[in-house]
Homo-oligomer: A and B are copies of this chain.
């Protein structure tokens, strides 16, 4: 298998510098908006010379972009991992919600940056949203959801997830508080989509207890 020709080389030192810059950006962009963070602060936090910044990133916007991409890949990988063994679309939906709440709890800085950039867009081409779209379509096709959910169910689910993240972050909820808030939100969102009350509560309870390694370990 031929290796990508244009990519120059990995190089340990280079990787370390780049990673230090990304880490610093993640930390500082969580504290204040991107435009309020001068490159001087980034390189200082990374313990690196100013010139190095431009060895790795063409300009500041591309750096911000690299950070957004980093976060997106992170959360996409978490969702994919959590759902890789699940085919039931309802469980995939709730599993994604668990991942998002866990992300807000365990990766506070990344979650703040993500929310700031409204990375959670309503765009259907966003990979995460495309996954949700598929699962919701499957539920609608299977008669699990109301017809109102066909078009607008994605929006409701996104709103629920975004508000949960915002709540966990702004109100600094503990894991226990977050789990309860998530349980209630999942019950309501599922009811809204058309799931009957008993099953909605059953599924929501499953999220809080069964995959406990998600919400309680680490």
Contacts and interface: CB of A to CB of B under 8 A. Distances in A.
A160 interface: yes
Interface in A58-88: none
A146 B194 CA distance: 15
B170 A155 contact: no
A211 interface: no
A159 B149 contact: no
Bin the interface of chain A by size.
Answer: 35 or more
A175 to B, nearest CB: 16
A163 B167 contact: no
B35 A170 contact: no
Nearest to A116: B118
Contact of A170 (B122, B146, B189, B190): B122
20 contacts: A33-B35, A121-B170, A122-B166, A122-B171, A146-B191, A146-B197, A148-B183, A148-B188, A149-B188, A152-B184, A152-B185, A153-B188, A156-B163, A159-B160, A159-B162, A162-B162, A162-B163, A190-B192, A191-B192, A191-B194
